[in-house]
Structure 1
Amino acid sequence: MKKVLLASVALGLLLSSCSKKSGNDVHTNPPVYKAPVVAAGFAKGADISWVTQMESSGVKFYDKSGAQKDLFALLKSLGFTSIRLRAWVNPSDGWCNTADVVAKAKRAQNAGMKIMIDFHYSDSWADPGKQPKPAAWTGLDFATLVTTLHDYTVATMNTLKTNGITPDWAQVGNEVDDGMLWEDGRASAHMANFAALVEAGYQAVKSVSSTTKVIVHVSNGFDNDLFRYLFDGLKNNGAHWDIIGMSLYPSTTNYTTLDTQCQSNINDMVARYGTPVMLCEIGMQANQPGISRDFLTDIITKVNAISNNNGLGVFYWEPEAYNWQGYGLGAFDNTGKPTIALDAFSN
């Protein structure tokens, strides 16, 4: 019996030793995730323009423990410092009109967040595939169109100012890969017109707030040819901007490649035009939160690493969207709680 007992003890020690050497110790804890550390002032942002419309439909938001929270306060607790809000001229349902933008901007300011206003210069979505004029602007000749854009921008900025809000940033146009206010401002056909519209927006913003930085925003931040073409055209036609804005929506399989290409493009933009760069929109599949966190960690790290603090920040587009209009690139789960993807913003 003694020999059997000794043999059993020896066998147990041997198995334990082998298990530890092979790295299969069941008591080993997974590594603790550490969010990227960024420079002071680096904008960790979210576009949450849907929030008032979602709330009006009864949508609620919860922290990771399941407690209901105001979305602005919740994002602040997750490490976000900045909010982006799209501005539409006269949307048919009212959402994202000037009054709605002001209401959300007040909430962002009360939460201690910086604010970006994204002028679409449209009554609804403006993006690379469509840049429709507001209905009220469709019959205007080009000179009047330029003046109208200027005056609308001034009026919106003044309304914000009257309500005690000075945006930190303002986009003049949204994803203007081929210009805006088509067909007059289509860049591929009328680059000089497009530049005149950008300049009108730039001067309008500055006339109300000299400290607000003006952004020209283009999609596909990995596409250096597109950015060189567009910003060479703007520069050669006398337009001004303070910041180059980018979008980046990679897949779960190509994000490492596109992140690297985007970083290279950012470096080229800084060197070529002498202006800093910001990622105004990013996103990934909400149902892949682990990979999304890896993507966010990587791109935040790369943007923050741009020399001389010329990588100004990263904004997630509508992270709070869950079970909403079929949008699948948010970062909340189906119960209204933030996923681990947003841990990348936590430092």
Structure 2
Amino acid sequence: MKHLLIPFFSFAISLLLLCPFSNWAYAQSFAKGADVGWLQQMEATGYVFYNDKGVAQDCFQILKNKGINSLRFRVFVNPSVDKVSGHCSMDEVVAMSVRAKAMGFRIMIDFHYSDTWADPGKQVKPAAWANHTFSQLKTDVYNHTFEVMTALKASGVTPEWVQVGNEIRGGMLRPDGSTSNYLQLAQLITSGYKAIKAISPTSKVIVHLDRGNDNVLYRGFFDAITNNGALYDVIGMSYYPFWLNQDYTASIDNLANNMKDMVTRYGKEVIIAEVGGEDTASQNTYDMLVAVQNAVRAVPNSKGLGVFYWEPEGAKSWSGYQLSAWGNDGKPTKALDAFTSSNENERRGQSSGDNKK
């Protein structure tokens, strides 16, 4: 009997030793991200970024010092040169991705499949695709995605995540890819998926909606694209209490429950691809970011991948956007400290695990 117990106790001890490491490994893999699509234009127009001490510094370095470990870049097809609503061409995105990789950031690429913003209210086809048949649109999506992914690979960049469409609650490339025709929408998503995997099999493909707190919306949408054969890996969510006209405390539990339901219902991972709060209410935005990170970390089986702040560096004085995390003094607001405090919690967790060993 004794010879049977010895292997059992060895196995049990091994499990105890591995648990703290497993928690630490998840903490290290948790994406604390920022979408910084405006940065290249901000720098080109002479905007100067300052760190907390008021010293001029590279924006990437400031974000890194704030705990950000991942960056997101949007891709437009044939954009204008408008400083706010243009740029983000393939060449510009590749250049920024190379720079981000050199500083150790993980990378998300967000295909809008438009010449400018795509979101729930605007899913306008690129001008060059405007008169194409649906069959041609599927090829357009594949070829554009393939071209950008190829350019990234040739520059030594392998995105960890890639979005097929941006906030496509009502579909994309409308009317052909509208949610009034889920079969066609699913085919467009799958065209993007196949192009991504052809170049970068390890990249996780995200399908992204807004209103991450709305479980009815998500069940209806993902039931439909799943039933119509869409291929994807991750469910991406936006969460903006400001645009819901409510404090985050009114909907954070709904967000948490929706993420858990998505994981259970579809067997997918989830990620908060966009989040943001008012720049003039930095304490509230800080509290919201802490709550959102906690909700994502609470998703079972480590299937909550991370949280991305949308344009934290996009100061209102430059962009007119009121949900950045940058002040009129050119410095980050308190809101971004939510990612730094997350780092502190991880270090404490690691230390606790080491003590247990």
Alpha carbons of structure 1 residues 53 and 140: separation in structure 2 relative to 1, 3 Å: same
Q: Tell me the distance in 1 between the aligned counterparts of 2:62 and 2:96.
A: 15
Greater mean alpha carbon deviation, residues 241-250 or residues 317-326: 317-326
**What residue is the counterpart of 2:75 in the other structure?**
87
Aligned to 1:30: none
Q: Structure 1 stretch 204-213 or stretch 298-307: which is displaced more?
A: 298-307
Structure 2 residue matching 1:91: 3-state secondary structure: coil
Counterpart in 1 of 2:58? 70
1:101-250 counterparts in 2 under 5 A? 101-187=93-179, 189-250=180-241
Q: What one-letter code is carried by the residue in structure 2 that aligns with 1:219?
A: D
* Per-residue deviation, 1:254: 2.0
From 239, 247, 252, the equivalent of 1:254 is 247
User: 1:297 is matched with which residue?
Assistant: 290
CA–CA separation in structure 1 for the residues paired with 2:251 and 2:59: 30
In the alignment, the residues of structure 2 paired with residue 324 and residue 284 of structure 1 have an alpha-carbon distance, to the nearest angstrom, of: 17
How many residues were matched structurally? Answer: 310
SS of equivalent residue, structure 2 residue 138: helix
SS at match of 2:28: coil
1:285-315 deviation digits (Å, cap 9, x = unpaired): 0001111111111111111111111111000
Percentage of pairs with the same residue: 49
Report if the CA contact (8 A) 1:39-1:309 is conserved.
Answer: no
Letter of the 2:60 partner, please give it.
F
Tell me by how many angstroms 1:253 deviates.
Answer: 4.9
Gaps of 5+ in 1: 1-36
328, 332, 336: which one aligns with 1:338: 332
CA distance in 1, matches of 2:333, 2:122: 32
Are the aligned partners of 1:132 and 1:182 in contact in 2 as well (CA < 8 Å)?
yes
RMSD: 1.2
- Structure 1: how far apart are the matches of 2:152 and 2:48? 27
State the structure with more CA Rg.
1
Structure 1 counterpart of 2:3: none
- Output the amino acid matched with 1:308: N
Contact 1:72 1:107 in 2 (8 A): no
Greater percentage in helix: 2
Return structure 1 stretches of 4+ with deviation > 4 angstroms. Answer: none
The 2-side partners of 1:275 and 1:39 are apart by 19
Higher mean C-alpha deviation, range 221-230 or range 252-261: 252-261
Q: Distance in 1 between matches of 2:177 and 2:299?
A: 32
Which amino acid in structure 2 is aligned with residue 119 of structure 1? F
1:57 to partner: Cα distance: 1.1
Give the aligned partner of residue 31 of structure 1: none
Establish whether residue 312 from structure 1 lines up as the match of residue 305 from structure 2.
yes
Aligned counterpart, 2:38: 50
Q: Is the 8 A contact 1:172 1:202 kept in 2?
A: yes
CA distance in 1, matches of 2:262, 2:128: 36
Specify the alignment match of 2:4 in structure 1.
none
Q: Deviations over 1:66-97 (max 9, x none)?
A: 01111111111111000000000000216100
SS at match of 1:62: coil
Q: 1:14 is matched with which residue?
A: none
Whole-angstrom CA distance in 2 between matches of 1:123 and 1:173: 13
Look up the equivalent residue of 2:236 and give its one-letter code. G
Letter in 2 for 1:185: G
Equivalent positions of 1:5-16 (< 5 A) are: none
Aligned partners of 1:39, 1:109: CA distance in 2, in Å? Answer: 20
Question: Which amino acid counterpart does residue 67 of structure 2 have in structure 1?
Answer: G
State the shift of 1:325 in Å: 2.5
Separation in structure 2 between the aligned mates of residue 142 and residue 101 of structure 1, nearest angstrom: 27
TM-score (norm 1): 0.88
Alpha-carbon distance in 2 for matches of 1:202, 1:229 = 21
Asked if 2 retains the 8 angstrom alpha-carbon contact of 1:169 and 1:212, the reply is: yes
**1:268 and 2:256 matched:** no
**What CA deviation, in whole Å up to 9, does each residue of 1:252-291 have, x standing for no partner?**
9520121110000001100000001000000000001111
Give the C-alpha shift of residue 326 in structure 1.
1.1
* TM-score for the superposition, normalised by structure 2: 0.85
